[in-house]
Each structure stands twice: as C-alpha cells, then as structure tokens.
A and B are shown apart, each in its own frame.
Chain A
Amino acid sequence: MEFIFNLTPLIPLFPLLAFATIVLLTHRHNRLSSSIAIGGIALSTAFGWTLVLATILGGEHAWVEGWQLRVPWLPAGTTVLELGFAVDGFTAAMLFMVPFVCLMIFIYSQGYMKLGQPDQDPRYARFFAYISLFAAGMLGLVVARDLVLLFISWEVMGLCSYLLIGFWSFRRADSEHHIDAAQVVRARQAALKAFITTRIGDVLLFSGIALLYSYTGTLTFRELFRPETLETLQAISLLGMPAVTVIALLVFGGAVGKSAQFPLHVWLPDAMEGPTPVSALIHAATMVAAGVYLVARTLPLFIAGFAVADAPALHWVAVIGAITALLGATIGLAQDDIKRVLAYSTISQLGYMMMGLGLGSLVAGIFHLLTHAFFKALLFLGAGSVIHGVEHGYHAATHGDHAHTEHFSPNDMKMMGGLRHRMPRTFVAYLAGALALVGIVPFAGFWSKDEILAEAFHLWRADGALNLPFWVWLAGTLGAFFTALYMGRQLGLVFWGEPRHAAARHAHESPSSMTVPLLILALFALLFGFVNAPFLGSPLHHFMGDVHEASEVVHAEAIPFNVTVAGISTVLAVAGLLLGWGLYRNYRVGQVEPFRMILGPVFTLLRNKYYIDEFYRWAIIRPVVWLSEFCFNIDDRWIIDPFVDLVGAAGRAASDVARVVDSVVIDRWFVEGTAQLFNAAGRWLRYSETGYVQNYLLVVAVTILLLLGLYLYF
C-alpha cells in the first residue's frame, strides 16, 4: 500500500499540466481546452481518492504519522531549503473534498460559460486555464509537508484569485449582454481590492515563516511541532511575549487575510464580481478555507503559547472568529444581491471554523470546513444557475429589444420570485444547500456547526464562569439564528411568491451540465455530515484528530453529543428560517422591507455593512491618497522633475556647443578640407598623364640619357 503514496506529487501536477497545455498549445480550441482542464482535475480526483482510501486502510499509523517525501529545492550556502509532500489523516480528509468539489465546479463551468452557444464567453479557454492553475495551487497547499510549498501554493492561489475576480474586467461595455461600463470598472477594482487586502495578510504570514526559520532552521511541520522545538520557541522572548505567540499571531494574520476574517473581510463580497463558478470554487469552497487549513495545520504553535502565557494567540483566533461569524451573518440580512448574501454567509461560516480552531479543537473547525465546502459550493452554483436562468428570461422577455434602458441586474433578489416552479432542479438542490447551511437535521451543516457549539458549551460548563467559550457559544448561537434568518429571506425572495419582474417570469431551467453537479453536491450536503456524526462514533475524529499528537500540546477528544446545544440551535434555526421565509415570501416591489420596519436604523447600518468600507476609505485610503499626492508633487512639481528638466536643459546646451564644433571644425575643416586638397592636386597632376605610349617612352628615353649623362659626368 505504501507505494501508492509516491503518487502524491502527481495530484497537484495534473491541473498544473492542464494549465500549461491550455496556455501554450490549445487556447484557440475551446472545447478541447475545457476537456483538458476537466480531465486534469478528474485524474487528480481519482488519485486523491485513491490516496484517501489508502490512508483509511492504512490504519492508525497512516492517519497520525502519515507518509512524506522530501525534495531538496533551493540549496542556499550550507543549508538546503527543502520542500516536500506529506499525507496524513488531515490531508486525506482535505483530499477527499478539494479535488472533487473542483471537478464538480469545472463541469458546471462548461455550462455556465456557455460552451458552444452564440454568446459563449470570449475568453473561455483562458478561464479554464486559470481555474486549473488555481486547482494546482489548492492541491499543492493540501499535500504540502512544510511551509515552503504551502506558501508557494498560497501565493499561486492569490494570483489566480486576482485574475479570476477581474476576469470580466476586459469585457467591453455592451448593451446586448447588459454589460455596463460601471460593472467592468467594478470587476477591476474588486480584483485589486482582493489582491491588496490579502497581501496585508500574506506579508504577516511571510514574516511569521521567516521568524520560524530563523529560530528553528526548519519549516517542516513535523519538525516544527516536536516538543523540543516548541519549548525552544516558548523560551525565546520577542516583543515581551514568547516568540511562539508572536509567530502564531503573524501566521494568523495570513489566515485572516486569506479567509476574509474581520477586519480584512472587505475584499470577499466585492470578489463576487467574478464569474459565479469562481465564487463557488475560490471564494466559498477552497481558497478562503486555506486560511482555516493553515491555522489548523499550525495549531500546535497557537496552543504552545497557551502553555506559558495566558494572553495567547489561540484566544485571538476564537475572538476574531466569533466577531466575524456575527458580523457576516448580520450584514447578510440586508443585502439584495443573491451572491453577496452568500459571500457574507461565507465570511460568517469561516468565522465559525476559526471559532472551532480557537477553542483548540482541530476536528470541529475542519469538519465544518469540509461540510461548508460542499454546501456553499452548492449554494453558489445554485445562485449561478438562478442568475443564468434569469438572464435568459430577461432576453426572452425583451425579445432582443435593446431600447430598454431600465436598470436590470440578474443578481438582484428583488427582481426574482416564484422560481421554484420554473427551475425545479435548481430549487431542490438550493434548498438542500440552504438547509445544510442553516443546520437542520440531518443535513451536513447541522453536525458540523453543532460540534463547534458543543465544544464551546462544553468548555464553558467545564469552567462555569462567564469565560471566553461562553461568549463564543453565545455568538455562534446568535449567528446561527441570523444565518437562518437571511437564508429564509433569500429562499422567500428567490423561490416563493410571484415573479416580480418579467425576467423571472420567463426564466427557465439551466442545462444539465449545470444541474447535474448541483444535484451531486446536494447529495453530499445531505449526507456528508454523517462522517463525523456522534451516534456513529465520530469517525472523522479518529481519522484526523490525532495528527498533532506528537507535539504533546494538542489533545483532541470527541465531545459527546449535547442535546441542550443541539436543541437550542435547532429551535433558533427553524424559527429564523420560518420568520425570514414568512416575511419575504409575499414581498412586492416598492414595499418597505419587512426587516427595515422591524430593525429601523439598524437595518441601514447593516445594509451599509457597518460602514467598514467607508471607514477604511476615510482612515486608510484617504491618507494614502494624500501621501501619494504629496509624493507626486515632490516628484513632479517641486523637486525631482524640475531638477531633471534642469539637467536636460544643461545637456541640450552642451550638445549645441558640441554640434557647432563638430560641423565647423571637424566637418568643414578636417574632413571636407582634406578632400578638397586631394581633389585640386589630382586636377593639376592629371595633365602629366597624356595617355600616349610614345610620350611615356620619350620621357623614359630622356630620363635615361640624363641619368647616363650624370653618371658619365661625375
């Protein structure tokens, strides 16, 4: 069995090769390109699942110790920077989810980008190249044995995220496809915003990695998390804290950026400007989960700080997670764009994962990551299908009549309504995703969210006081209520009631290349929770719970099923769902929103996303603009440019002098003078050359006579 693991490096390699092939060779052939991309990811899925099976069959040793491969990568002086691949229970759990969700989304993208239809996306092949590269990055991250490969993959994904969010920034404004110029600009700005915002986190992460390497000389997880190494890191003091805490906080900074945690969450909603499969793949299922994965992978660093000082990194993870979970869920209540609601939902769910990890429970966080990947990918793809259907409905309703200048956005939930009759398969799948997200028994989200809440509840009861786990539990439970509320609102607005726009009235079901992946994912949303269901003995716990056992600081034990916690959250979820659904089911255009009537000014606050974007604009962007204007003035108006101009003017004057010297002295006197001299000489001398042979002979004879005379005379 062991030899199967040698195939691990191939898993990220297939999509990478697909990317290279498409970009270099087949980018002119659309169908071939997407087939190559799908083939690559299908191979990765096959290999990935083979490895998962091998790990499961490998028993305790394969789950905890795992397998690894070292690759000397960058010889630098006396040390060699290594990277490598490793598979253990944790990696295997991720390998089950990542390539499969990618595969579903790749297949769906074929339909979404309208392969073979007249309005097929003009950069179709390029899209598949980008998502293949992205898949290579994500798979590389999952199978990384050390922070080197992890960071490389991390940055590859960052690049792909940027390229794909801005994928439509090169479109021309075009009334036929209702692409207005503002939308193109928004895509461009969203791409930049995502890249720059995550960059803040990436710099922190890189500093953390650099510190780790300078203190320990290694970046391999297994070596970093040896008890001796952790003790060394605890003993070093840095900025008044143990170095391990500082490093953990820096690493967490990277995760905050990538996983869109407060306060760096602002990029994720804007990232919805990208094509919907991208939102599903990158901004819901995989890349944003990479931050959570990173924290989970380096969990011993977070917990090791706990052992020495009591203001450690782990608390920050829990606090930030709880804030983010509540923040995202509440903003989601007041958005109109179907994808933006899901984006805030994603932010909020990522907060839950961080909460789970912040309580020190690897399995709770990762279990939620896995279930969330399935049902959130499903929800996004469902939203894409809805948008697709409504867009077609709009075309059918207007009959290609482009005199229409009214504003129409296919993403606006208030323009939809009653779609459950028109798009039945999408509706069923979407409903499954929504129930999983809200956490209704027996859908996947119930088990994973419940585990996080139960963990918090357990830690609270174990202590008794109103400690951190209590507040985390409270935030999580409230968040669950809000989650149910906004999903109820969304379901009511999109699928129930009467169509509120001609586009929704003419909407129809999407092609099967889109609905089949939806239904498959819906199956997972329904069933995947059982992999860690308490009544089955929490299999996932045994499978991946002990991967950090060797560090001697992480101790995972399955929390028993808690009826109180599950009861409270289920009651709140059902209540929220029914409330949101009931209030919005019969919503009519022009009516004041029910939530606005209930919440009043708070609704405005939520609708404007707590004014966080405005605050950043005021506190960060404005000073930066000032600074750049100041620098511009120094450069362009006051100092640098005038100096440059002066140097230029001096140069011109000097060259004028040089030009005169050159044209008069050199050209006229030396060059032309010499030529004229020889010309004149030649003109005079040619009279001696008569061309008559007898003349020459006469000269010869006379000369000989003269010479003879001279000879005889002397």
Chain B
Amino acid sequence: MAIPLPWWLTVAAALFAIGLYGVLSRRNAIGVLLGIELMLNAANINLVAFWRHITPQALTGQVFAIFVIGIAAAEAAAGLAIIISAYRRRRTVVVDELDTMRW
C-alpha cells in the first residue's frame, strides 16, 4: 500500500541536506541556485507528504506546494537574471569573486 510518512520525510531531509551542501560549497553561482531549488523541493515533498497522511480532506498542502513551485520559478528567473548581469559586468559567476561590498 502506501509508503509510510517517515520514508518521505527521510527522503525530503536527505534532499534538503544535499541542497544545503550544494548552496554552501558550490563556488559557481548557478550551482548555488540549483542547491536552493533542491531545498525548495525538499520542502515541497514534506508539504505533499503531510497532506497525504494527515489532512487528506483539505487541499492546503497541495495548494501550498503549487505556490512554492511558482515562487521558485520566479526566484530562479530573478536569480539567473542577476547572475547574467553580474557576469556581464565582472566576467565571472564565482561567488567568492563578487566581493564589491566586502571591507
């Protein structure tokens, strides 16, 4: 029958950890963006899993997930735009080298 809730949560936690690792360790800004996407989707898995196992009669979990997907798309668009703009100016997308604001 259905896969029990802890399994979902384990997968989601693993995905989140992978995403976080990517965000913290990648030097390429696009990689950082990819990590963020992973973390958002980990959260989506949790939302859908909790909906399915705890409040199947209400649609809030699903609706919330759809919102997150939409916002993630927007975020990716904005993030990529910033990266392209930074690349045009600085000829690099390595986050360590974008240090204008540093003391």
A residues near B (Cβ < 8 Å) are: 686, 689-694, 697-698, 701
Q: Nearest A residue to B96 by beta-carbon distance?
A: A692
Min distance, Cβ A275 to any Cβ of chain B, angstroms: 85
B92-103 vs A, Cβ < 8 Å mask (1 yes, 0 no): 000110010111
Interface residues on B, range: 10 to 19
Residue numbers in A under 8 Å from B96 (CB-CB) = 692
B71 part of interface (Cβ distance < 8 Å): no
Give the A-B pair count, Cβ closer than 8 A.
Answer: 22
Could you say which of A689, A692, A693, A701 has the most chain B C-beta atoms within 10 Å of its C-beta?
A: A693
One digit per residue, 1 when the CB lies within 8 angstroms of any chain A CB and 0 when it does not, for chain B 32-48 equals: 10000000000000000
Known contacts A692-B95, A692-B102, A701-B20; can you find 7 more A-B pairs with CB under 8 A? Answer: A686-B103, A691-B99, A691-B103, A692-B96, A692-B99, A694-B25, A701-B24
In the assembled complex, 14 residue pairs joining A and B whose CB atoms fall closer than 8 Å, in A order, are: A686-B103, A689-B103, A690-B102, A691-B99, A691-B101, A691-B102, A691-B103, A693-B95, A694-B24, A694-B32, A697-B23, A697-B24, A698-B24, A701-B20
Rounded to whole angstroms, the CA-CA distance of A521 and B87 in the bound complex is 109
Determine the distance from Cα of A698 to Cα of B101 in the docked complex, in whole angstroms. Answer: 19
Contacts of B99 in A (CB 8 A): 691-692
Least CB distance from B31 to A in Å reads: 11
Are the CB atoms of B102 and A694 closer together than 8 Å? no
Residues of B within 8 A of A697 (CB): 23-24
What is the minimal beta-carbon distance from A126 to any residue of chain B, in angstroms?
A: 75
Minimum CB–CB distance for B17 against chain A, Å: 10
Q: How far is the CA of A697 from the CA of B95 in the complex (A)?
A: 13
Q: Give the docked Cα–Cα distance between A693 and B27 (Å).
A: 11
Residue in A686, A694, A701 whose CB lies within 8 Å of B95: A694
A689 cross-chain contacts in B, Cβ below 8 A: 103
Residues on B with beta carbons closer than 8 Å to the beta carbon of A693:
95
Residues of A within 8 A of B32 (CB): 694
For the complex, what is the distance from the CA of A697 to the CA of B25, rounded to whole Å? 11
Kindly provide the distance from the CB of B42 to the nearest chain A CB, expressed in whole angstroms. 14
Q: Hey, which chain B residues are within 8 Å of A694, CB to CB? A: 23-25, 32, 95
B46 to chain A, nearest CB (A): 15
Least CB distance, A610 to chain B, in whole angstroms: 101
A692's nearest neighbour on chain B, judged by CB, is B96
B20 vs chain A, min Cβ distance (A):
6
Chain A residue contacts of B95, Cβ below 8 A: 692-694
Residue interface bits B70-103, CB-to-A below 8 A is 1, else 0? 0000000000000000000000000110010111
Residues of A within 8 A of B101 (CB): 691
Smallest CB-CB separation from A691: which chain B residue? Answer: B102
**In the complex the two chains form, what is the Cα distance from A697 to B96 in whole Å?**
14
A147 to B32, CA, bound (A): 106
Residues of B close to A701: CB separation below 8 A: 20, 24
Quote the shortest CB–CB distance from A708 to chain B (angstroms).
12
Query: With the chains together, A265 CA to B95 CA distance in Å?
Result: 108
A56 to B95, CA, bound (A): 116
- CB-nearest residue of chain A to B98: A693
